[in-house]
Amino acid sequence: MSGHLAVDPDMDRLRVLIASTPVGALGSGIGGGVELTLHNLVYGLGLRGHHVEVVAPANSLHVGERVHQIDGALQISAQGLGREASTELPAGSVLAAMWSHIGSLQDEADVIINLAYDWLPFHLTQFFDVPVLHVVSMGSLSDAMDHVITEVERLRPGRLAVHSAAQAVTFPDPSIFRVVGNGIVAERYDVQLTAADDAPLGFVGRISPEKGLEDVAELSARTGRRVLVWGILQDKEYWRRIQADYPGATLDYRGFLPTDDLQAQLSSCAALLMTPKWVEAFGNVAIEAMAVGVPVIAYDRGGPAEIVDHGVTGFVVPAGDIDALVEAVARIGEIDRAACRQRVDDEYSSAAMADRVLEWIGDVIAARVRV
């Protein structure tokens, strides 16, 4: 065991190395919520005085003290694979190259935080001298991932975290995870405390089946409400099918926008709709909406249902219940938009998230020192 690990994260400057997702460069949007989580962690840990470097695919945006840009073939996202899918690496894998580079940097780090939902980083945990912690970004999707995650707990207990309790319960043993929530750089978001009488609704997310945009389209068709849609158009056929199946819906696609542009447009909405067909690990767009004062109407499925305080920052409705969605939209004027922003400042700021992660790091380091 390396002696330099005996530090108190509240007192000393930690050297933190964060491993990004290998499915796309930072800033591309391909990494979805993982990109936002990474930016938030870098900012929050920096606020607390710690040194943070990032290892990410080539052409990534610069964040933290330094971004190590790694060339290689991008990894296929696990969310599109089946339960029994095998573990695969493409030729010239960027994931393999990233973790080879991380291995060469471990003597310069006190802790490594992995954000990739891929088999290789979990398997490598036992071979590193420096503690590798994993923020698991999705629910249980494959038997191979479930097995290797469980092995991390058996060999290196205390190294696993998730964003929500709802995410944890999708795995065989929820008790192996620490719930650390998530956060955003709230200072980047300008709150709008009022909405126009004819304000549109909003939807933010990848245009792909698991996000449930068809339910939003049905809501729009039934109520006549206009919906602004932002996100990567990942499945063009799915988008065309929605338009064909719901000709009465008014969906205004605005594309994928960087954070500053998105929050400026989103703030004009009356509410954000979250209608996932799968278990969202957290739901970063919920706290982004609340940060600009926009209430959230979410299905009672996954992380968003834990974020939204029913009747205070929005409404939680039964999954798949379009009638309940319609009723919630009709009641959205009951929500105090200032309360939405206050909840973000109190629980989902960068500083709050960083403090939860630093407490976790401190527990891991203390456990190593006792060994």
- For 11-25, write each residue's pLDDT tens digit: 479 999 999 999 999
Quote the pLDDT of residue 3: 33
Q: What pLDDT, on a 0 to 100 scale, did the predictor assign at position 77?
A: 78
pLDDT at 85: 74
Record the tokens describing residue 239, joined without a space: 């988008």
Q: How confident is the model at residue 367 (pLDDT cuts 50, 70, 90)?
A: confident
pLDDT, averaged across the chain? 92
CATH number assigned to the domain covering 3-183+349-370: 3.40.50.2000
Same fold yes or no, 3-183+349-370 and 186-347: yes
pTM over 0.85? The answer is no
How does pLDDT run across 271-322, given as a tens digit for each residue? 999 999 988 888 889 999 999 999 999 999 988 999 999 999 999 999 999 9
126-171: pLDDT as tens digits: 999 999 999 999 899 899 999 999 999 999 999 999 999 999 999 9
pLDDT (mean) for 55-59:
97
Those residues with Cβ within 8 angstroms of residue 364's Cβ, 6 or more apart along the chain or in another chain: 111, 131, 133, 158, 159
Q: Where are the domains of the chain?
A: 3-183+349-370, 186-347
pLDDT digits (tens, 9 = 90+) for 231-278: 989 899 999 999 999 999 999 999 998 888 999 999 999 999 999 998
Percent of the chain with pLDDT over 90: 81
Q: Please, which residues bridge with residue 69 across strands?
A: 56
- Class (C level, CATH) for 186-347: alpha beta
C-alpha neighbours within 13 Å on the C-beta side of residue 240: 3
